Amino acid sequence: MKLKKLVPIVTTDRINEVKEFYTSYFNFKVCFEMEDKHLSIVSGKDPEFEISFMAPENDQQPTFAGHGLTYCLEVNDVDSEFLRLSNEGLEIVQQVQDNPWGDRSFILLDPAGVAIYIFHLISPTEEFKQYFKTAHETS
């Protein structure tokens, strides 16, 4: 099988809020929208990166419970993104920090409760270098 695309779908009753969040703060564009029922958004710079959200179809379908899912977004400069997003008033749940596995990161939550892990690569510590199976390219 040759995979062409992977699109995560989060079930939430907060479709309008996630639309506003991703289009305002992360330059995503709407590519499909059924009002209050389904939303698909793509990265403004690369439509290969798509995220979807859907409202529960009935009372028995659970919505995302706000834990256990993280989107990792690699950026060029995590410190400038931290300043930009914290100045916008977004709640940061983990401050900027260097991690021994080789990135500098911070975490915030989207309106559905998905953790957004924003990072850029740095050199891993000696302890973690052994775990990389391919080159760990830092900027």
Query: 86 φ, ψ to 5°?
Result: -70, -35
pLDDT of 135 higher than 90: no
Confidence band of 139 (pLDDT split at 50, 70, 90): low
pLDDT digits 0-9 by tens, 88-127: 999 999 999 999 999 999 999 999 999 999 999 999 999 9
- C-alpha distances (whole Å) from 82 to each of 24, 49, 108, 123 are 15, 21, 10, 20
Domain limit, last residue, from 60, 93, 111: 60
What span, in angstroms and rounded, lies between the C-alpha atoms of 36 and 58? 14
116 and 75 fall within a common domain:
yes
34 and 69 fall within a common domain:
no
Domain range for 45: 1-60
CB 54 within 8 A of CB 11: yes
Q: How many domains does the chain have?
A: 2
pLDDT score for 138: 74
pLDDT of 60 higher than 90: no
Nearest to residue 104, comparing CAs of 131, 132, 82?
Answer: 82
34 and 99 fall within a common domain:
no
78 and 135 fall within a common domain:
yes
Q: Which residues pair with 40 in a beta bridge?
A: 32, 52
pLDDT digits 0-9 by tens, 6-30: 899 999 999 999 999 999 999 999 9
pLDDT score for 36: 87
pTM given for the model = 0.89
